[in-house]
Each structure stands twice: as C-alpha cells, then as structure tokens.
Structure 1
C-alpha cells in the first residue's frame, strides 16, 4: 500500500514540475517587438584597440554599422541591414593602406592574474 502511495506522489510531483509552456519555444511578449537604438566605441591608444558599433531597429528591421582598426593599419567598416525577408546583408569596406613594418620589435605583453593590477 505504501509503495502505491509513493508511486502516485512521485508521478504527481513530476507532472507538476513541468513548466506550463513546456516545449512552447521562447518567451511571449504581449506588446510585440520593441524598437531600440544603441552605440558604443572603444579607443585605447596604448594597446591600439579601436572599434565601435551603432545599431537601430524599428522592431522589425535592423540597420547598423561597426568599425574595426585592423593590425595592418587599415580601418574596416561593415554596414548592415537585417530583416526576416532577406536576412543579414552586409557591405564591407576598407579605408587606408595596409602597412607592414620592416623591422619587428618585441611582442607587447600584458600581465596575467595578479600582475599588479587590482
């Protein structure tokens, strides 16, 4: 008798443990897609890091661009659009001329884990 009660309780607990939208995909938003706009930029002269991005959306379509300073001295810019019909479409362009040093110096290294920065 006790065995049957335990089996019933375990079956009940398992059935209650499943979410109500189990297998139903992602979250459902009552208000639909939300338009947004964002941008950021990073420019660190010490390490040579220079990149940024801006993007906006009307809730259905996305427009944006990002730039990256390449190691050879050129600047890469990617302008893009994205929607449910055409997908992600990018136009890539470069400015500047690739430059390669004749003499290479020592590698730039940064301290790892406990290198004096706290």
Structure 2
C-alpha cells in the first residue's frame, strides 16, 4: 500500500512540474474581425441589432433594441484584457404606457393547466 502512495505522489509531482515548465511552441495571434446583424419583424414587434469589430487586441461594438415601452436602448461597449468590459447605456424616445389595463390574460398549456 505504501508503494502505491509513493508512486502516485511521484506521478502527481511530475505532472505539476511538467505543467509549470511547458509552454506551447506555437501561440496564434488573435485575428481582427467585423460582423453585424439586424432583425426587424413587424408582426412580432421585434427590432434589434448588433455590430462588433476587433483589431485583435480589443473589441468595440454596440447593440440596439426597441423596448416594450416605446423607447430604444443603445449599448456601446469596449472590451480588452486590461480594462475588461466597459459599457455605456443610453435610451432614446419617451416611455409610453397604456392608460387602461385590461384583465389578466390566461394561457392554457397542452395539459389544460392555466397560467398567467
């Protein structure tokens, strides 16, 4: 039993030493990129999009979304390994809420159980 413990400790210590010394020979540099997308669905009322680019060292981008209260939210952001994720959030338009609210709508699932 003592022999098994000693062998296990030797294997673990060798693995730790090897992990500390080992460095990959080839480390690829991050590649620059750019992408964007927009979604507009008049039937569902969805309107949002995003654009992002990277120079290989930092990421710069923004995204927008139409909120249910009628405003538009825009988030401009940057991210890198030094400052992390930094975002600036802004809103456009005026919030509009209904003057009167109707009764709660109940939906039924396939089992006949209702939920709000």
TM-score range relative to shorter protein: 0.5 to 0.7
Give how far 1:29 is off: 6.7
| TM-score scaled by length of structure 1 | 0.64
Q: Which runs of 5+ in 2 are unaligned?
A: 1-18, 111-116
Indicate the RMSD between aligned Cα atoms, in angstroms.
Answer: 4.0
Give CA-to-partner distance per residue, 1:85-113, whole Å, 9 cap, x none: 100000000000000012346889xxx99
| TM-score scaled by length of structure 2 | 0.65
Corresponding residue for residue 56 of structure 2: 59
Q: Which runs of 5+ in 1 are unaligned?
A: 1-20, 114-118
Corresponding residue for residue 99 of structure 2: 102
Aligned length: 110
Confirm or deny that 1:70 pairs with 2:74.
no
1:107 to 1:85, Cα distance in 2 relative to 1, 3 A: same
3-state DSSP of counterpart to 2:82: coil
> In the aligned structure 2, how far is the partner of 1:39 from the partner of 1:29?
31
Identify the structure with the greater strand proportion: 2
